[in-house]
Structure 1
Amino acid sequence: MKTTVNLRSVGAVCAIAILLLASGCKRHGKTSFSPFSPSTPDYTLDLQPLVSAKTMPTLHWPDFSDYQPMVQKFYDDRKYDLAWTKDGKPTPQAIAFVQAIQNVAAKGLNPEDYDASLWTGRPQQLSEKNPAALAQFDVAMTISVMRLISDLHIGRVNPQHFNFEIDSASKKYDLPQFLTDKAIGAADVPQLLASVEPDSEVYRQTEQALVHYMDLAKQQQQANADPLPMVANPVSQGGSYPAAQELWQRLQLEGDAGDDDAPKTYNKALSDAVKTYQSRHGITDDGRLTPQTVKSLNVPLADRVTQLQDSLERWRWLPDPYLNARLMVNLPEFVLRGYNEEHTLDFTMKVVVGKVKGDHETPVFTHMMKYLIFRPYWNVPVDIAKKELVPHMEANKDYLASKNYEVTNNKGVVLPNYTVHQVEHAMVLVREKPGPGNSLGLVKFMFPNQYDIYLHSTPETYLFNRTRRDFSHGCVRVQKPDGLAVWVLQGQQDWDLDKVQEAMNTGPDNHQVNLKKQLPIVIFYLTAIPAEDGKTHFFDDIYGYDAALQAVLTKGMPYPKAPEPVIPKTKPGDTA
């Protein structure tokens, strides 16, 4: 019998065999059949070990374990096709990202976090005949770009690491998808980077201030001037200060003094310039040259640069609903700002914040204001009752009644009889009755949170005359509570000033008024801020939050991404 051979079938079998051999025996530089790049070399074997590792020795910060799953997904999705080179040379986008990295200090970031000094030499090592170098370049670029995009968008450190209640993680990008869709083919890399930053005018003004102060710090360093001599006692206008000319030159550097020649005495012009400087630095602005003023003037401008960098970091933490919040308290400034719906400033108001000493620091967090309470009770926290009330009760059994306090059980029923032992061991609760002498004043503004922190009025109005105002147990006392209540309740029934003041002075006790539209509020911490007068203002790091941030950043990458466990408040009572 004669056998007939089907040549078409033989050809098909041979083609399948060739495909199987090609897919099963990949080698460096050989042609692959990737759907991404049908006729380009296959770098899978060069990329995979780099991508699967959690460290890369050629990086400035070799440990990229926090980004490794995203780097892996990026290359998995693109079938291990190179992203940042073509024909053995960097793509225009890679070159643009390197240029952006070189200039990233102007955005308050550390260029070395993204290998700034290492990128110059890397392209010189590239060649189509050196697949290992191409793979190294590609992965290093991917890691650097991911780090840069993330840091500009949500900041370097998770704010919850510091027990701040700010959910920056909620606005994270899908970085592999972001790089694929927007970065590797970007037509305008600077515009792309600007788009990932906070869309806030104050943030952009802070970036501008940073660039200005970086230049001033460079000028100061080049001048290498001696620190101004300290004063033992304040120097007033007409007084004597031997370094008057040097003081004038220092004030000229930041624009607090004019272009006139330096005076030889502490005259009116010098006193006015000092007053301008004081108003920008949270110092009593009386124009007298005090020890505090000289100490502030001697702070290197490089330190002011760091303060602006810290401010930019915190702006990046804010979720979108709070980026342009209607209400913002800046703790080290002791100021509350209110904005309209177009985020134009409506008012500023002095506030009193938590004491530096005694573990009463006001925390940083975001929340929604939901309601007001007129003529509130103050439910005294157990630790305050134990520390501040019990000693007086031991000396005077009628102390609580004489100070307008009453004692209740856990259901709010007033108890006519109680003991010091019961108060000390939280077997009963103490509360201060409503009225003008109540520690919370006559109204409190509620945004329920784990810290039990809120805004409220106060009978201790004299504290608003102080320049430094950290006197509370943690809550924020407001200077003009009636005006704030009218502003918060605007457009809601007929809550004008007369009605608000009536509710505060003669209305029912513990009267709750819910807001029809909740207001986003940010309790924030900026020791450097471009203010409404067009000048940059600086404040003391009263709580050490800047120092804590710098301590983390100094250690280098990877920065803390996962939050530290937060210990919620468990004891009853209201912070005051």
Structure 2
Amino acid sequence: MKPLSFFLALCLAFAACKQSSSNGHKMAKIARDTAISDTNSFSTLFFDSTSLETWLAGRSMPDTAKALFRNFYNQRNYQYAWFDSTGIAEQAGHFWNLQQNYLAYSGDSSIFNPYLQRWADSVNSYGPKAIPDSARLLVEWGLTGQFFRYANKAYMGDRRLNARDLEWFIPRKRVDLLSMLDTLVRVKGKDIDRYEPVNKQYGLLREQLKRYYEIERQGAWDPLVAKKKKLVTGDTGMVILQVKKRLALTGDLPLADSSNLFTPELEAAVKHFQFRYGLKEDGVIGGATLREMSTPIRQRIHQILVNMERIRWVPAEPSGNFLLVNIPEFRLHVIENGKQAFSMNVVVGTSQNNTVIFTGKLKYVVFSPYWNVPPGILKKEILPAIRRNPNYLERHDMEWFGNGQVRQRPGPKNSLGLVKFLFPNNYNIYLHDTPSKSLFNESKRAFSHGCIRVEEPLKLAEWILSGENSWTTDNIIAAMYAGKERFVNVKKDIPVFIGYFTAWVDQQGNLNFRDDLYGHDKKMAAKMFRSATP
């Protein structure tokens, strides 16, 4: 066997640099824990700290990378992490399987380590004592460095992707690699999924990804071609048989059916498919439904991988109460103590007026609000309308105020409706009511200038102000219709997440897909895959 390659050393340095820079400061030194000895440790195997220093001295890596190694072994008093008296330890196998699963489902071979792979093959063939004492230290350090590389890639996000370039303004999360590795060793790799520092949605998508890989392995599918524009219950034809096979593979059709008749069972399956794709649930195959059914399976695999990458950027498990708007889904989710309390339809920005992806904190509920017309809308829409019709402002219940600004007075004509919900941000985006209720009946609801219109503003206001005795339902309704603007401070700590997920698994276990409304998937896929066709 050859010693660790220079390439591996560079990769270890890269991982360590990222760990240091992600925390925004030089890595603090962890003192050596001399209380650990062969009488109270899981292993009686220790090595001399000078041997690690000698090895590190021969590696071309920055000081931050070397500090990552020192800190891990200092807190172990230089006890082996991956070996015990029986040979290679249990947790090493669990970690290797975890990494192999990542390589398999992600298609990312950048962290593949041929040196360690040869030793892993030897252990699989000859057992835990296959690694001789002469190679034990190099494999020990190699596995530690490999874990840092793996965790940095799998849990901290693809560093080739600049979140700001991709218009994602939610800060990337930070992952404590040392703590994670210490946990893996301490529990000997058992139930490691419970310790993965990712949102649980990541694991749910990963399982669906495996399913779609299996569908692809079976031959995937070709585009569906129907002789009629719409296929309904009672129709027959080969395309109906193809649809049945497809919906059986995706789990929409519970029982396989080899007939070419459009049955009531197939109609129910089509409705389930339409629900998962955010389409009109009419049970009819045609138009958008047929197009979605014909989407290549490789494209769906890329879509899942893109969204798994996004999920690595968000908190593992947001605690407490919060609001989540998923732009491609056109839905607002109200989360209470980690579980969904309710959700509602929303209207988001058009493809020309994107709703920005970011996070904020709810601060005010504003009843009977004024609408201060943004400068862009004033210049492009309001001023030209005034030139065409001098009575435009009065007809729309608007008025001049301040230094050449225009606002719309509170009332039923107000574009913000009867209430708005403010979480101060640099993008001038907030949640609000709307007088244009009919838009909520549309399946694709991208009509706004960037702000988010909510379908049930009263229900949302009741939830936000619940627990405050002065804000009963009657008082909230009275304030909404008062015709006088009133700001109410939100006393609770309620974060607001504006996200962009085109693939996710819902509470019922259904894999959902949505259109790439703003082209964000396309940008990410171009960076993640060499031959992506989103």
**TM-score after normalising by structure 1:** 0.73
The corresponding residue for 1:369 is 362
Q: Which deviations, in whole Å up to 9, do the C-alpha atoms of 1:163-195 show, x marking residues without a partner?
A: 4332334x431x35654x445x43322434531
Are positions 1:484 and 2:477 aligned together? no
Query: Which stretch of structure 1 is more off in the superposition, 384-393 or 296-305?
Result: 296-305
- Larger-Rg structure: 1
Query: In the alignment, is residue 284 of structure 1 matched against residue 300 of structure 2?
Result: no
Paired letter, 2:494 = L
State the partner residue of 1:114: 111
- Distance across 2 between alignment mates of 1:534 and 1:89: 41
The one-letter code of the counterpart of 1:48 is: A
SS at match of 1:353: strand
Pairwise CA distance, 1:153: 4.4
Q: In 1, are the aligned partners of 2:417 and 2:433 still within 8 Å (CA)? A: yes
Structure 1 residues 116, 265: CA separation in 2 closer, same or farther (over 3 Å shift)?
farther
Distance 2:341 2:179 in 1: 40
Correspondence for 1:96? 94
Could you tell me which of 243, 246, 257 is aligned with 2:239? 243
Distance 1:81 1:516, change over 3 A: closer
Q: Deviations over 1:198-254 (max 9, x none)?
A: 4x6xx25x5245324423432343245433215662333344554111111111112
Unaligned runs of 5+ in 1: 1-34, 55-64, 411-427, 556-576
The CA distance in 1 between the partners of 2:228 and 2:66, in whole Å, is 57
Q: Contact (CA 8 Å) 2:248, 2:256: kept in 1 or not?
A: no
CA-to-aligned-CA distance 1:358-417 (integer Å, 9 cap, x gap): 2x111222222121001111111111111112222222233223322212224xxxxxxx
1:47 alignment counterpart = 56
Gaps of 5+ in 2: 1-33, 38-45, 123-129
Q: From the superposition, tell whether residues 252 and 38 of structure 1 become closer, same or farther in structure 2 (CA, over 3 Å).
A: closer
Distance in structure 1 (CA, Å) of the matches to 2:424 and 2:167: 17
Shift of 1:440: 1.0
The CA deviation at 1:48 is 2.1
Displacement of 1:443: 0.5
Partner of residue 42, structure 2? none
Compared CA separation, residues 45 and 274, structure 1 to 2 (3 A) = same
Candidates 535, 542, 547, aligned match of 2:522 = 547
**Which amino acid in 1 is paired with 2:95?**
F
Distance 2:165 2:466 in 1: 37
Match for 1:142 among 128, 141, 144? 144
State the secondary structure of the residue aligned to 1:537.
Answer: strand
Q: Would the alpha carbon gap of residues 119 and 38 (structure 1) be closer, same or farther in structure 2, given more than 3 Å must change?
A: closer
Question: Does structure 1 residue 353 correspond to structure 2 residue 348?
Answer: yes
Q: Does 1:329 align with 2:325?
A: yes
Aligned to 2:15: none
What corresponds to 1:300 in structure 2?
296
Secondary structure, in 3 states, of the residue corresponding to 2:364? strand
Return 494-503 or 343-352, whichever deviates more: 494-503
Any conservation in 2 of the 1:168–1:317 contact (CA below 8 Å)? Answer: yes
Aligned to 1:513: 488
Q: Residue 363 of structure 2: SS of its match in structure 1? A: strand
Q: Does 1:495 align with 2:463?
A: no
Report % sequence identity.
31
Residue matched to 1:172: 175
Please state how far the C-alpha of 1:325 moved relative to its aligned partner. 4.5
Q: What is the alpha-carbon distance in structure 2 between the residues aligned to residue 79 and residue 161 of structure 1?
A: 43
Q: 1:399 aligns with which of 371, 392, 396?
A: 392
Distance in 2 between residues matched to 1:546 and 1:67, nearest whole Å: 33
Partner of 2:375: 382
Structure of greater relative contact order (alpha carbons < 8 Å, 6+ residues apart) = 1
Deviation at 1:277, TM superposition (A): 0.9
Is 2:269 the counterpart of 1:263?
Answer: no
Tell me the residue number matched to 1:221: 217
Report the AA paired with residue 244 of structure 2: W
Cα deviation, residue 490, structure 1: 0.8
State the shift of 1:332 in Å.
0.9
1:448 paired with 2:436, answer: no
| Distance verdict in 2 for CA 1:177–1:378, change over 3 Å | same
- Relative distance call for 1:482 and 1:319 in structure 2 (3 A) is same
Q: Take 1:68 and 1:235, find their aligned partners in 2: how far apart are those partners?
A: 64
Contact 1:352-1:469 within 8 A present in 2 as well: yes
**Aligned counterparts of 2:355 and 2:270: Cα–Cα separation in 1:** 31
CA deviation string 1:89-116 (max 9, x = no partner): 755443332222112358x645634326
Identify if the C-alpha distance between structure 1 residues 68 and 469 changes in structure 2 by more than 3 Å, giving closer, same or farther. farther
CA gap of 1:272–1:78, structure 2 versus 1, over 3 A, is closer
- TM-score, with normalisation over the residues of structure 2? 0.78
The RMSD of aligned alpha carbons is 3.5
Q: Note if contact 1:482-1:501 (Cα within 8 Å) is conserved in structure 2.
A: yes
* Contact 2:220 2:296 survives alignment (8 Å): no
Q: Alpha-carbon deviation of 1:263?
A: 3.4
Could you tell me whether the CA contact under 8 Å between 1:47 and 1:80 is conserved in 2? Answer: no
Change (3 A) 1:521 1:119: same
The alpha carbon displacement at 1:78 in A equals: 8.3
Aligned residue among 314, 325, 334 for 2:310:
314
Paired residues in the alignment total 478
Structure-1 separation of matches of 2:414 and 2:333:
25
Change (3 A) 1:42 1:268: closer
Question: Is 1:457 aligned to residue 433 of structure 2?
Answer: yes
How far did residue 353 of structure 1 move? 0.7
Say whether the 8 Å CA contact 1:101–1:114 is kept in structure 2.
no
Which amino acid in structure 1 is aligned with residue 360 of structure 2?
Answer: H
Q: C-alpha separation between the residues in 2 aligned to 1:237 and 1:230?
A: 15
